[in-house]
Structure 1
Amino acid sequence: MSLRDTPGTGSQKAFWTYYLASTASDLGSAVRSLALPLVAVLVLDATPLEVGLITGAGFAAWLLIGLPAGDLTARFPLRSAQVVMDLVRALCVLSLPVAWAFDTLSVAHVAAVAFLIGLADVIYDVANSTFMPAVVPREDLMRRNSLMTGTQAVTTLGGPSFGGVLVQIAGAVPALLIDAASYVVSAVLLRTLPERPPAAKPARGEGMWTRIAAGWSYVGKHPVMAPFMWANAAVNFAAGAQLALYPVLLARTLDVAPALIGILLAGEGVGVLISSMLVTRVVDRLGTSRSSLVGGIGVVAGTVLVAAAVAWSPYDLLLYGGFFLGNALCGGTAVLVAVNSRTFVQSTCPTEILSRVTATIRFVTWGVIPAGGMLAALSVTHLGATITLWLIALAAGATPVVLAVSRIGRTRNLEEV
């Protein structure tokens, strides 16, 4: 009997162990997102370009191995793959304090660590998402995915702040010891879960790229997964543009105080947190298809509200309020699209190709983030911040359009497609 088939208390215990391990890992990643750039700036006096290279190194991993990750993950036991990637990330992070202690730390070392951790992140994420159906009964996937999304919002909001406190107290490099410890905690917790064996061995003569192509074909032809993939890609493209534009817009164009910038940017996380607590009720009332469409419309409304607040608000209070609410609306309604799509994939996709399907979807939906950031940077340079905000809203508009014109837009629930 598989872990997923285990009823009652054992199944509940397995999920909560998985949940705590994932949360510890997510917290480590959130702390790292602030700690690594601060190490570069405060310890190594890195230039803005060097800091940008360090920040972008993790995203490069998705473009490099995002597609092969699904096939690679399917070859190994899923629990062990996550444990190994946790330990790899811990060792990579620990190499920085060691190099600092011996006065050999360099920007190149920090960038290399960011890239290696990014590679481990890709494998861990695909394995972690594929492993979840093994610890959650199908009927509970929506509720558990909502909980995971809300917790990730909390770690995303609190992780950098926690990292800032650690840096303030212990220094940028010693704070990384806590980051490494979080990955070790995750590995220890995951090690207590029963293993889920790898998928069946591929047929003789069937190469990796043939299997990757099969996963891509499965997603591309699916009447639900394909529209969701492109709809989520539109959301993340807009998010990547926002990540690149908002700090420059707030700090330079609008001359907002640093403390207020943090509050305004936290609006997205607040929206995600609130939405994750309500998503199950909304889905029960509207259905999985219609709630996804409502989510896509909400993303557009949020981006439009931000653009309108910046372009037309005559008072600072209206500007800040519109920006915060728009950011919260955008993040909160995107949860409906993300949770519905993730739950559908986990509950319907055949186990033997789930890792490849997950990797295909993540490759597209996460791979567009740096593209959105790059195009936003070019747009704001040549067209200005206000026009760029309206272009972001236009890009986000693809989300409900893709869902509406597909078969998803003609049903109440995804199971009817």
Structure 2
Amino acid sequence: MAFNGTANFFVIMVETLGPLFLIRTLHLRPGMVGLLLALGAVGGVAGGVAAQYLARKVGSARISWIAMTVLSLPGLLIPLAGPGWWVLLFGIGWISWTFSSTVAGFSLTSYRQAACPPDMLGRVSAAARWITWGTLPLGGLVGGVLATALGVRTTLWVAVAGGCCAGLWLFFSPLRGLRDIPLGKLAPAGGVL
């Protein structure tokens, strides 16, 4: 929950300020802004397709922290975007973030569903969502305040650096010492539900 809450706090800054950055700073047309933002969905779908394969090959515990500490690093390209072809840096960074968060989320959600007693799963899921989604409005508000004080591009740097650092919650957790998340009798062959 600490990882998800931290990641959501910073990702919503990019989602909130991304269109503003693309329109006011880079002077892109609305169609191009929509296309670049839609690339996030492409990364999410690709992450969903690749998640089980990566969990089997790398390990379900390892891939959760590798995705959010290594695979998310191209997200640092987002504030480097500029006019012309340089705008593709925004798209590459955005795809990497949505890909890596989907891959990590696959393993972590599978663990929560397998480890939680069935009669408590609804309450545990609701509490987790309340905490992790509760950071979204806070991130949007802080992003707006920072953008007003520091500028949009500088705030995007803060957001992408913070988002990439969110994976440190997983890196410094017991997951780093495991290949697979222990799912016990609930896990099918391959270690991922």
Q: TM-score, normalised on structure 1?
A: 0.42
Q: Relative to 1, partners in 2 of residues 1:300 and 1:329: Cα closer, same or farther, differing over 3 Å?
A: closer
The code of the aligned residue for 2:53 comes to R
Q: Relative to 1, partners in 2 of residues 1:239 and 1:276: Cα closer, same or farther, differing over 3 Å?
A: same
- Cα offsets for 1:321-353 (capped at 9, x unmatched): 111111011001101111111111112210121
Correspondences of 1:17-416 after superposition (within 5 Å): 229-298=1-70, 300-307=72-79, 309-310=80-81, 313=82, 316-317=84-85, 319-415=86-182
1:241 Cα offset (Å): 0.7
- Cα offsets for 1:82-116 (capped at 9, x unmatched): xxxxxxxxxxxxxxxxxxxxxxxxxxxxxxxxxxx
1:296 Cα offset (Å): 0.6
Report which of the two structures shows the higher radius of gyration computed on alpha carbons.
Answer: 1
Q: Is the 8 A contact 1:306 1:326 kept in 2?
A: yes
Q: Relative to 1, partners in 2 of residues 1:268 and 1:329: Cα closer, same or farther, differing over 3 Å?
A: same
- Cα offsets for 1:290-340 (capped at 9, x unmatched): 110121124641321112x23xx5x510x2211111101100110111111
Structure 2, unaligned runs of 5 or more: 184-193
Q: Report the identity percentage.
A: 25
Q: Relative to 1, partners in 2 of residues 1:299 and 1:232: Cα closer, same or farther, differing over 3 Å?
A: farther
Q: Is the 8 A contact 1:404 1:410 kept in 2?
A: no
In the alignment of these two chains, the number of paired residues is 184
The code of the aligned residue for 1:371 comes to L
DSSP-derived class of the 2:102 partner: helix
Q: Take 1:343 and 1:252, find their aligned partners in 2: how far apart are those partners?
A: 41
Q: Take 1:405 and 1:367, find their aligned partners in 2: how far apart are those partners?
A: 23
Q: Is the 8 A contact 1:299 1:396 kept in 2?
A: no
DSSP-derived class of the 1:256 partner: coil
Q: Take 2:89 and 2:108, find their aligned partners in 1: how far apart are those partners?
A: 29
Q: CA RMSD in A?
A: 1.7
Structure 1, unaligned runs of 5 or more: 1-228
Q: Is the 8 A contact 1:235 1:299 kept in 2?
A: no
